[in-house]
Amino acid sequence: MIDLAVRHFALPLRHPFTISRGTVAVQDTVIVQLGEQGCHGYGEATTNPYYGATVESLARQISAVAPLLRRCSTDDLEGLLDGLTAELGEDMFARCALDMAAHDLWGKRLGRPVHGLWGLDPAAGPLSNYTIGIDTPERMVAKLAEVPGWPIYKIKLGTDRDLEIVRELRRHTDRPFRVDANCGWTVRQAIDYSGPLADLGVEFIEQPLAADDPGMAEVRRHSALPVFADESCAVEGDVETCAGRFHGINIKLVKCGGLAPARRMIARARELGLRVMCGCMTESTVGISALAQIVPQLDHVDMDGAALLAADIAVGVVVEDGRRRYPDRPGTGVELLDGPLPGA
Ligand code: MG
C-alpha cells in the first residue's frame, strides 16, 4: 500500500532564463511523495507550456492514481510502473514524477542507491555543462563570468545574432561549448553556422530545426558538427526516427515519462549507433538527483537545473562545477528541506 501526496512549489531562478521560445523567471514544479512503511520517495515534474504541462493538469492527473497506488507496492516495482503507465497513458510529465518517486522509494526501502541497484558506477559518466540562456552578448558574458568553474557551457541560441554571441563568449573562456537553437534555425542557417561554430570550439548543435522538419537529414549530411535531437526526441518511439536525422539524442525524464523509459531509450539509441545525452527542465534537486542515477550510462549531460535556482527545496545529489556528488543515502538520495509532505 503506497500513500500519495502532491504539492506545487514555485522555484525562483537566479536569472530569468530565456530560450528561443520565451522567458521564465520562476519555474513552477510539482513534487510527488510516495510513502510506504515509513519510507518516502520523491519525484518531480516541472511545468512546461510547450508540452502542455501545467500545475493543474499535473496535480489532477497524479492525484487520480491514488487508488491504484493504494493497491501497489514497490516490492513489485515493474508491476507498479506498468500500472501507472496504463493509467496515465501519454501524460509523460505526470508519469515522470511518479516514476522518479517510485524508484526513490524502491531504493530507500532496500537501503541502496538506485544506481547501485542497477550495478552502475557513480564515478563513471560525463561532467555536466552549465547553460547560458539567451540575452544580450554582454549579459551572457556576465552570466558566464559568474560560474567560471564549469567544464563545458551550453549556449542557448536562436536569435538574429547567434554567431556574434558565440564569438563574444569565446573571448572569455577556452572551455568547450555546445549550442542549442531550440528549433530556431532553418536548414540553411544550421548548415552555414556549423562551420564557424566548429571553429569556435563548439562540440555539437542541439535541435537546430523544428521538431518535425524534414530538412533534418540534409542538415545531418552537411553539418560540420554533430547534431543532437531534443524536441525531436520526446518519447521512446522517437528514438527510431532520429537515426539518420541526428547523431545523438537528448533524453529528458519529463518528456519520456521517467527513469524506466529513459533506460529503454538509452539501450535502443546504442543499438542504433546514436550518442546519448540527458538534459533537464530546470528541476530542483529532486529531479536532478533522479537524473543523476543514469548519468553513468551517458555520453553527455546537462544537469544544471538546480544550479540555476536561487533557492532549492531539497537535498540530494549536488552538481557543482559540473561534478556530481552523491549523498550517502539510499534511493535517489532526496530529502525535502522542510521534511515529508503531510499525507494525503
Ligand atoms: Mg534542448
**Domains within the chain, CATH numbers bracketed:** 3-114 (3.30.390.10), 117-335 (3.20.20.120)
Q: How far is the CA of 112 from the centre of ligand 1 (A)?
A: 32
Distance of CA 154 to the CA centre of its chain: 13
Task: For residue 308, report the distance from its CA to the centre of ligand 1, in Å.
Answer: 15
Q: For each of the chain's 344 residues, which pLDDT tens digit applies? A: 999 999 999 999 988 888 777 888 999 999 999 999 999 999 999 999 888 899 999 999 999 999 999 999 999 999 999 999 999 999 999 999 999 999 999 999 999 999 999 999 999 999 999 999 999 999 999 999 999 999 999 999 999 999 999 999 999 999 999 999 999 999 999 999 999 999 999 999 999 999 999 999 999 999 999 999 999 999 999 999 999 999 999 999 999 999 999 999 999 999 999 999 999 999 999 999 999 999 999 999 999 989 989 999 999 999 999 999 999 999 999 999 999 999 75
| Residue 141 alpha carbon to ligand 1 centre in Å | 20
Amino acid identity of residue 207, one-letter, is: Q
Name the E strands within the chain.
Answer: 3-19, 22-36, 39-46, 130-132, 153-156, 177-180, 202-206, 227-229, 248-252, 275-279, 300-301, 314-315, 318-320, 323-325, 335-336
**What spacing in Å lies between the alpha carbon of 330 and ligand 1's midpoint?**
30
For ligand 1, a single-atom ion, the residues with CB < 5 A are 180, 206, 230
How close is the Cα of 30 to the center of ligand 1, in Å? 21
| Dist. CA 180 → ligand 1 center (Å) | 6
5 CA from centroid of ligand 1 (Å): 30
Distance 318 CA to ligand 1 centre (A): 22
Cβ–Cβ < 8 Å for 76, 1 = no
Tell me the CA–centroid distance for residue 299 and ligand 1, in Å. 15
Measured in angstroms, how far is the CA atom of residue 32 from the centroid of ligand 1? 25
What pTM was computed for the model?
0.96
* Spatial separation of the C-alpha atoms in residues 2 and 319, rounded to whole Å: 30
The pLDDT value recorded for residue 242 is 98
- Report whether 302 contacts 278 (CB < 8 A): yes
Q: Which of the 8 DSSP states describes residue 57? A: H
Tell me the β-bridge partners of 202. 177
